[in-house]
């Protein structure tokens, strides 16, 4: 009986720890420097360039419309997000830049693949057009 109680307590503690760490890991903290960063590009210009860059670097996972349904989406463990939602669109440009450029976990870092930061801003501008 003591063994069963011990296993039950261990199970409860393990579940609580897993739930806590999973919730913590899912939250994507954007440093204040990026959260407050201003987009240096004109959001209405060069959308075709932003779309081309999105198609080259983002579409395979995030999908044509940013719904997280690209052909490689099933290979990713984390949530790919839905760029069309008001929750996603309410993020600052700097937050979207940070997540797109710096990445984390399954979201790759693009600092070497897209060395010109202006190109990432053009992708941010294009992502802004993928609203509901």
pLDDT digits (tens, 9 = 90+) for 25-44: 478 999 999 999 999 999 99
Model pTM score = 0.79
| pLDDT tens digits, 66-92 | 999 999 999 998 889 999 999 999 999
pLDDT above 70 as % of the chain: 81
Q: How confident is the model at residue 5 (pLDDT cuts 50, 70, 90)?
A: low
CA dihedral (55, 61, 62, 65) positive or negative:
positive
Please give the backbone phi and psi of residue 90, each rounded to the nearest 5 degrees, phi first. -80, -10
CATH of 31-127, one of 1.10.760.10, 2.40.10.10, 3.40.640.10, 3.40.50.11540: 1.10.760.10
Average pLDDT over residues 52-65: 97
Instruction: Give CA–CA dist 87/85, Å, rounded.
Output: 5
Residue 26: CB atoms within 10 A of its CB come to: 10
Residue 63: CB atoms within 10 A of its CB come to: 19
C-beta separation of 94 from 30 below 8 A: yes
């Amino acid at each position: 009986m003591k063994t069963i109680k011990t296993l039950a307590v261990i199970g409860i503690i393990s579940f609580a720890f897993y739930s806590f760490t999973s919730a913590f890991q899912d939250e994507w903290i954007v440093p204040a420097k990026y959260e407050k960063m201003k987009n240096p590009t004109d959001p209405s210009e060069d959308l075709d360039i932003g779309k081309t860059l999105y198609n080259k670097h983002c579409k395979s996972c995030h999908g044509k419309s940013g719904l997280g349904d690209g052909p490689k989406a099933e290979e990713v463990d984390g949530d790919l997000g839905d760029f069309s939602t008001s929750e996603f669109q309410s993020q600052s440009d700097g937050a979207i830049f940070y997540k797109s450029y710096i990445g984390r976990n399954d979201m790759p870092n693009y600092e070497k693949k897209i060395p010109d930061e202006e190109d990432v801003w053009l992708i941010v501008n294009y992502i802004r057009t993928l609203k509901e």
